Structure formats: structure tokens, C-alpha cells
């Protein structure tokens, strides 16, 4: 099993550009999450999904969109990138919400200039 | 909303010394999790605590959940250079809610 795979690992965007961060898991996990991590600030939840076709906002959803058309994939879309979106983005998954722990991907380091 | 705090923010120890990080929540928690993130890496799940006063051990790591279920601690005995990283706690008030992560405690171990 590859676990949670994120692409790309690094990306530099210009202000106003758009991009999609890809996330795929092969563990048949129902729950998937997108977090952003800013230095010294911990992890902030952007969006999450409890299953295919179901998504919901987290703590910091503004400027982002998601979709969940399959169990495996959970892409994060950035529209009109802004410098405030410079961060490290982590995708995570879990089989349920009973607290068995999240499996995180290796992250995407995004810089908006 | 729910807030999770951790102290200290940074800790520098000599190899072989003990280390403790504390996690405090503004609300009573149903369960709490601990994660470790190596420099440049991603968070890795360590453990979950559910019961009031619960204590769990993983080799040199001891995790404790407070009696009031509003705080938790992670203690590392005789630190090693492999313990370097940031330790995060994540708690939630009720099952079905999302976990809220603390800001983490960054541990450096001097050989």
C-alpha cells in the first residue's frame, strides 16, 4: 500500500493563478481531510469528507474548494492564489471517525509570490 | 470555539535527559491523540487516549490523560537523537466532531 499520496511536493504560484493539489489514498478509507500548516501554528483544517460525494468546510475554507467523486481521491483547488495561502498542505485519511488516528501524506509546500 | 494549547513551544535537552510536553484544552475532551512530526516530514500518529486518568506507554514514551479530560501530557524518558521533532496533541469535544490540533512542542536533542 502506498498510503496517502500527494502531488506535487513543491509548487510556486504567482498571485491570481489557480492550481489543484492532488491527494489519493489506497487504504479504502472513508474519511479524508485537508490541512494547512503554517510555521508555529499547528494544523488547521480546511475541508473534510466523510465519503464519496460528501464534503464539508473546516476551520479555514475561504479561498479553497474540494470535491470527492471517488473514495480514493480528494483534490484541493486553489482559485486566485494569494500570498496568505503560502503554506504546507497535508492531506490525511482515516477509516472512520472513531479515533484510530489519521494517516498523513508527505505534504505539498506551496509558495505564492 | 474549542482551543488546544501546548507548552512549552520549544525544548532543548541533552541526550539522556527526560522531556515532557503538556496539552491543555479549553473544553472537556472525549478523546485526545498525539502525533510526531520529524523536521521536514509529515505528522505520524502515536496514540489515542479516551478514558479519564488513562496512562499508556510506548517504550520510553508515557502518555497521560487528565482526570478532568481537559489536559494531557507526553513524557519521554532518556531522550535520544531520534526523538527530535515536533509533538502535536489533537483533541475533540465529542465523537463526530473534528479534532483540533495544538501548535506543537518542538524538541531538539543535543548529542
Spell out which residues of chain B touch residue A90, defining contact as CB-CB under 8 Å.
Answer: 42-43
Q: Is the dihedral of CA A36, A42, A47, A52 positive or negative?
A: positive
Q: Which residue in chain B has the smallest CA separation from A47?
A: B98
Q: Identify the pLDDT of residue B63.
A: 98
B59-92 core/surface letters (b: 16 or more CB in 10 A; e: else): eebebbbbeebbbbbbbbeebeeebbbbbbbbbb
Q: Identify the pLDDT of residue A83.
A: 96
pLDDT in tens, B12-42: 999 999 999 999 999 999 999 999 999 999 9
Rounded mean pLDDT of A10-27? 97
Q: Identify the pLDDT of residue A108.
A: 98
Spell out which residues of chain B touch residue A87, defining contact as CB-CB under 8 Å.
Answer: none
The residues with which A65 forms a beta bridge, in sequence order, are A77
Residue pair A112/A85 in contact (Cβ under 8 Å)? The answer is yes
Parallel, antiparallel or unpaired: strands B71-76 and B19-25: antiparallel
| Facing A107 at nearest CB: one of B42, B45, B98 | B42
* Percent share of chain B, pLDDT over 70: 100
3-state secondary structure of B96: coil
Q: Identify the pLDDT of residue B28.
A: 96
The pLDDT of residue A1 is above 80: no
Please give the radius of gyration of chain A, using alpha carbons only, rounded to the nearest integer. Answer: 13
Q: Identify the pLDDT of residue B97.
A: 87
The pLDDT of residue A49 is above 90: yes
Q: Tell me how far apart the alpha carbons of residues B82 and A7 are, in angstroms, rounded to a whole number.
A: 28
pLDDT in tens, A69-107: 999 999 999 999 999 999 999 999 999 877 789 999 999
**Cell 496517502 belongs to which residue?**
A4
Q: Identify the pLDDT of residue B90.
A: 96
Q: Identify the pLDDT of residue A98.
A: 79
The pLDDT of residue A68 is above 80: yes
Q: Identify the pLDDT of residue A97.
A: 78
CB contact under 8 A, B43 and A41: no
Rounded mean pLDDT of B56-81? 98
Amino acid at each position: 500500500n502506498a498510503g496517502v499520496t500527494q502531488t506535487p511536493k513543491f509548487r510556486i504560484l504567482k498571485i491570481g493563478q489557480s492550481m489543484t493539489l492532488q491527494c489519493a489514498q489506497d487504504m479504502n478509507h472513508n474519511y479524508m481531510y485537508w490541512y494547512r500548516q503554517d510555521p508555529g501554528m499547528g494544523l488547521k483544517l480546511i475541508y473534510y469528507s466523510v465519503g464519496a460525494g460528501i464534503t464539508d468546510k473546516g476551520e479555514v475554507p475561504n479561498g479553497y474548494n474540494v470535491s470527492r467523486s471517488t473514495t480514493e481521491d480528494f483534490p484541493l483547488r486553489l482559485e486566485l492564489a494569494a500570498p496568505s495561502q503560502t503554506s504546507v498542505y497535508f492531506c490525511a485519511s482515516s477509516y472512520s471517525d472513531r479515533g484510530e488516528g489519521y494517516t498523513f501524506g508527505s505534504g505539498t509546500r506551496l509558495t505564492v509570490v | 470555539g474549542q482551543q488546544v494549547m501546548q507548552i512549552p513551544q520549544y525544548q532543548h535537552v541533552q541526550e539522556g535527559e527526560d522531556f515532557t510536553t503538556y496539552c491543555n484544552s479549553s473544553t472537556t475532551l472525549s478523546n485526545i491523540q498525539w502525533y510526531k512530526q520529524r523536521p521536514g516530514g509529515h505528522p505520524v500518529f502515536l496514540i489515542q487516549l479516551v478514558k479519564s486518568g488513562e496512562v499508556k506507554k510506548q517504550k520510553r514514551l508515557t502518555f497521560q490523560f487528565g482526570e478532568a479530560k481537559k489536559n494531557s501530557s507526553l513524557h519521554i524518558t532518556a531522550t535520544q537523537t531520534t526523538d527530535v521533532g515536533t509533538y502535536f496533541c489533537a483533541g475533540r469535544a465529542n465523537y463526530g466532531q473534528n479534532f483540533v490540533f495544538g501548535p506543537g512542542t518542538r524538541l531538539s536533542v543535543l548529542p
